[in-house]
Structure 1
């Protein structure tokens, strides 16, 4: 049976939040381990628990330091080649959607391009 989609929002109840954190924390570490094993990649996860000074680290503290040092020693261009922040991701997504909109417009026989950023495009 399929699970119900969970809405992501802050949980104000402390005990519920702690329980969810523990469950999801274990799941995150397991997924990182599976990713590293199945795809033969180097993976590193740092999780700071609320109120804790020392993070939980995957695969180990020494392993994480090695992975981070490899990353730091890469040329800067190589480091940033595939890196993306939320703004970059959203810009890329908007560009893809605009291209899709143009394509659908051509197929439908309209040639009107969507407007630049900040404006809402209304279909003809």
Structure 2
């Protein structure tokens, strides 16, 4: 059977929205962890929400800084390949 398209819209009940956010955030972080482990790649996530004062950074702020520094060290053509844009301000 084919799957039907689901219309995405804001959950109006704030408590349900918060619970859904926490569950989906956990699932997303598990997926990123699996992807980086199974494929031997570097990955990170920065998640902002209205429920927290600070963004959540995975795996850690220190690791994120290391990844960004490594990305900044790439030659210009390589950065363009990964960033999807040729005009960025690094």
Q: Normalised by the size of structure 2, how large is the TM-score? A: 0.77
Equivalent in the alignment of 1:122: none
**Superimposed CA distance per residue, residues 75-102 of structure 1 (whole angstroms, 9 cap, x where no aligned partner):** 22211214337xxxxxxxxxxxxxxxxx
Larger RCO, structure (CA 8 Å, separation 6 or more) = 2
| Cα root mean square deviation, aligned | 2.0
Deviates more, 1:8-17 or 1:19-28: 8-17
Equivalent in the alignment of 1:39: 39
**Superimposed CA distance per residue, residues 19-49 of structure 1 (whole angstroms, 9 cap, x where no aligned partner):** 1100000011101100110000000111112
> Which protein is bigger by CA-based radius of gyration?
1
SS across alignment from 1:41: coil
Equivalent in the alignment of 1:69: 69
The runs of 5 or more residues in structure 2 that have no matched partner are: 86-90
Equivalent pairs counted in the alignment come to: 83
**Distance in 2, Cα, partners of 1:74 & 1:49:** 31
The runs of 5 or more residues in structure 1 that have no matched partner are: 86-124
Shift of 1:5: 5.7
Counterpart check, 1:29 vs 2:38: no
Equivalent in the alignment of 2:9: 9
Alignment of 1:60-99 (within 5 A): 60-84=60-84
SS across alignment from 2:53: coil
**Distance in 2, Cα, partners of 1:14 & 1:82:** 36
